[in-house]
Amino acid sequence: MKNYLLGCDWGTSSFRLRLINVQSQQIVDEITSQEGVASTFTAWKKTGEPKGIARDQFFRQQLNQQIRRLSEKGSLRLEGVTIVISGMASSSIGMEEVPYARLPFPVDGSQASVKRLESQADFPHDILLISGVCSEHDVMRGEETQLIGLLALPGADHYPVKDTIILFPGTHSKHLYIQNQQLVDFQTFMTGEVFNLMSHFSILKDSLETTRSINFSKSELDAFKSGIRELNATSILNSLFRVRTNQLFGKLTKRQNAFYLSGLLIGSEIKTLVHKPNWRLLLCSGSNLYELYKLAMQELNLAERTTTISADLLDKATIAGQVKIMQSQLIPISK
């Protein structure tokens, strides 16, 4: 298929494969699954390695199954289409470990760390594995591709990129510091993971009721704001135990308490930005977190210097980043 690529976003716990028209950067078709890098690696250790199957070969077999799914879903012939993979597939538990790029990292993708894997008789696709970026104390994989793509999108010249901190909320939230068209530093916050640990595996689990809904009531948002304000009164470790006493003393319902916990954790993450008044903020948030992070920005008086990127635009950024990195590596488009 001429002028197409297969864009794969292979995260720790999720998988997405899309057929992309390179010229328009439009998605022709896509599939998703929960077969992330972590579960694939575990499956290889359990069933592949004992049989002498090399790790990269096992990952190719899993990719083949997903490519077949996409082909059958859209009645597509995908032989020979190049695959560009971002995320955790280039990690120590992925298909093949690729060294991190280092700081400072140009946001045009010209210094991205990549590795090309040639097609094979039973796998007729060249693979471009995109690695992440490391600093002296931190690492990331995947966000660098979104960053490159975000600043390459049409209209991106309207985004502040001079002395700007770009936020990517999530399980491991990232704060990326951009100066002079370069990523000069970044920080990881385990906000989402700590919420999951507290709400499912700690003493607090019986005091909470979590939800995946993105429609929040006023009482839930008030509880969220209460969690943010609590950070000014005491330490986060003491505040966490108040999640339990909120429920014991009937101050909040279990559902409201989950929002209180979110306020504590998201507020603790965002509060670090209050002391950096000379930096512009660019919030790139998926729909399930957008309202909460936006509200946290307002509560901490950060809204005036914050620009928000929609979930749809952030999704396009991953595609644009994969295309730009492929083009910068002079990888030929599938004919």
- Domain boundaries of the chain, sorted by first residue: 4-157+315-328, 191-311
Instruction: Tell me which of 5-14, 125-134, 151-160 is least confident.
Output: 151-160
* Residue range 191-311, CATH number: 3.30.420.310
Percent of the chain with pLDDT over 70: 96
Confidence at 330, pLDDT banded by 50, 70, 90: low
Query: Is residue 289 scored above 50 in pLDDT?
Result: yes
Query: Is residue 56 scored above 70 in pLDDT?
Result: yes
Euclidean distance between CA atoms 81 and 316, whole angstroms: 20
pLDDT on residue 191:
96
Instruction: Tell me which of 81-95, 174-188, 310-324 is least confident.
Output: 310-324
**Is the separation of the CB atoms in 195 and 261 below 8 Å?**
yes
Mean pLDDT for the stretch of residues 262-268? 97
pLDDT on residue 160:
66
On average, the pLDDT of the chain sits at 92
- Which is higher by pLDDT, 234 or 22? 22
Contacts within 8 Å (CB) and 24+ apart, 23-26:
25/316, 25/319, 25/320, 25/323
Confidence at 156, pLDDT banded by 50, 70, 90: confident
Euclidean distance between CA atoms 174 and 135, whole angstroms: 13
Domains 4-157+315-328 and 191-311 belong to one CATH topology:
yes
Confidence at 159, pLDDT banded by 50, 70, 90: confident
User: Top-level CATH class of 4-157+315-328?
Assistant: alpha beta
Closest C-alpha to 198, from 189, 187, 207: 207
Contacts of 299 (CB under 8 A, 6+ apart): 225, 228, 229, 267
Instruction: Tell me which of 85-99, 195-209, 227-241 is least confident.
Output: 227-241
Mean pLDDT for the stretch of residues 63-77? 95
pLDDT in tens, 10-21: 999 999 999 999
**Is the separation of the CB atoms in 76 and 28 below 8 Å?**
yes
pLDDT on residue 311:
81
Euclidean distance between CA atoms 252 and 48, whole angstroms: 49
Angle between helices 191-201 and 254-270 (to 10 degrees): 150
Confidence at 329, pLDDT banded by 50, 70, 90: confident
Distance of CA 43 to the CA centre of its chain: 23
Euclidean distance between CA atoms 151 and 145, whole angstroms: 10
pLDDT on residue 215:
84
pLDDT on residue 334:
43
Can you give the length of the chain in residues?
Answer: 335
- Which is higher by pLDDT, 310 or 281? 281
Query: Is residue 180 scored above 80 in pLDDT?
Result: yes
- Which is higher by pLDDT, 287 or 17? 17
pLDDT on residue 140:
95
For β-strands 83-87 and 4-10, DSSP reports them as parallel
Query: Which tokens belong to 257?
Result: 């308490």
Confidence at 314, pLDDT banded by 50, 70, 90: confident
Distance of CA 277 to the CA centre of its chain: 26
Number of H helices and number of E strands within the chain?
9, 15
**Is the separation of the CB atoms in 188 and 172 below 8 Å?**
yes
Angle between helices 236-248 and 218-230 (to 10 degrees): 140
Q: What is residue 237's three-state secondary structure?
A: helix
Residue 13, phi then psi, degrees to nearest 5? -125, 10
Percent of the chain with pLDDT over 90: 83
Mean pLDDT for the stretch of residues 296-323? 91
pLDDT on residue 257:
97
